Structure 1
Amino acid sequence: MKTKFGKYLENFMLKSNYTLEYISKETDASISIVGHYRKGIRIPKDEFIEKFIKKFISIDKEKNYIRYIVAYDRTPELIRKELDKKIDKIEDNIIKLPFVGKAAAGRGYVNFSSENIGLNETVSYLIEVSGDSMFPTLCDGDNIVVNSEVKNLENIDGKICVLTYHDQTYVKRIKVKDKKIILKSDNKEKYKDIIIEEEQLEYLKLEGLVTSSIRKH
């Protein structure tokens, strides 16, 4: 019978378009070992699980779920029946991240509407990066996880954030200087800073902090 983690890993790779080679590279495990984990014929070691979580998982509930199903896979069959009742509840409570739209890593993108999907009730969501201004940190087409709980501009100095300025949505690295906010690109040779003076700050809205990214291969 296939392990719980094997089913999880298979779905995760399909959803993210990740290959065995990529998972292997990011977790320092051999391709054959990762293949065995995906097929559910071997139970992963704690070292692999922690590397996998650190690289790919940003939501605490999902981290806990992964650790739980690995512990479940290691549990004798006689005890699993009771655990099955709990695991169904945990699966129901895993956060399903909504996909909002696009935000530009270049010159602004309008395809973003947090109000339309009720983000007031959602801590994190996905946005597709459009453009190359944040290269090599972020690439065109990457999906980024945005934590919408972070709303204070004073606490995001040096961090990559999603912001809306005059109805244009950006993915930029933030620099707080004096009473100015500077939207900086990691691709400095191609893109200039966007400097927002104090009197223009009322038109700037912090949508959230970028916590991780998913790259398609």
Structure 2
Amino acid sequence: MKQEISNRIKELRKMKGFSQKHVAENLFISQAAYSLIENSQNGIVAEHVVKLSRLYDVTTDYLLKGDKNVISMTRANGFTPFIKLSAHAGFIKNYHQEDWENNYEWFRIPGFNPTQNQRLFEVEGESMLPTILPGDILICQTQKKIENILDGSLVLVVTTDAIIIKRLKVNSDPEYLLLENDNENQLESLKIERENVREVMMVRGKITGVLVPHHTITSKGRINALEDALELLKKEVFRLNKKIIALSN
């Protein structure tokens, strides 16, 4: 098996056109040490398997067992890490650990090309109804400069002890973030000290499994029609008032 692994990593290196020195530098070992691995004279440790899988953009299973599924689940291949509700606590606890994203499932979304620092989060609660429903999955992207976020933007905030989805309200106090709900029954604002904020992510979209009932769509259509009619009536009243004022002068 050692010989088979050595053959695979040697073949991958040649396919990429890398020198032994280049690969050794990526593994933080000497070229001589790497040469022994490639020639089956030394075994390969787990840490090197992981680094080689990233270097060659293949799965660790391919390196170790030669499995035909060689596509690595990375953002470069269109995959995004998914943090389920049950994984929120672990996400916060292991936030600063290297390679922590490897602990989560990765998914590819049709029509969506992920960029760096994008993740999928499952959400719960009713504080953001009707914008976000319990069980929706949010597509989020890190925003390094909070000052660049527009007032009222939908954000996911990672703090030292929670994951919060709200609307960010611009305020004059630089020491706090002011967050608000969409739910009319839960309109109280939330203030979070910035020193407790680890990351702020913009919500770029969502995946939902909830279908709107037909009667709800019909009701919404009627409401929209009434709103349009009311807007026309306001414009007509405004036009008539202008005429009356002109005649009075």
TM-score between both structures, scaled by the size of structure 1: 0.47
Q: Which has the higher contact order (CA 8 A, sep 6+)?
A: 1
Q: Which has the larger radius of gyration?
A: 2
TM-score between both structures, scaled by the size of structure 2: 0.41
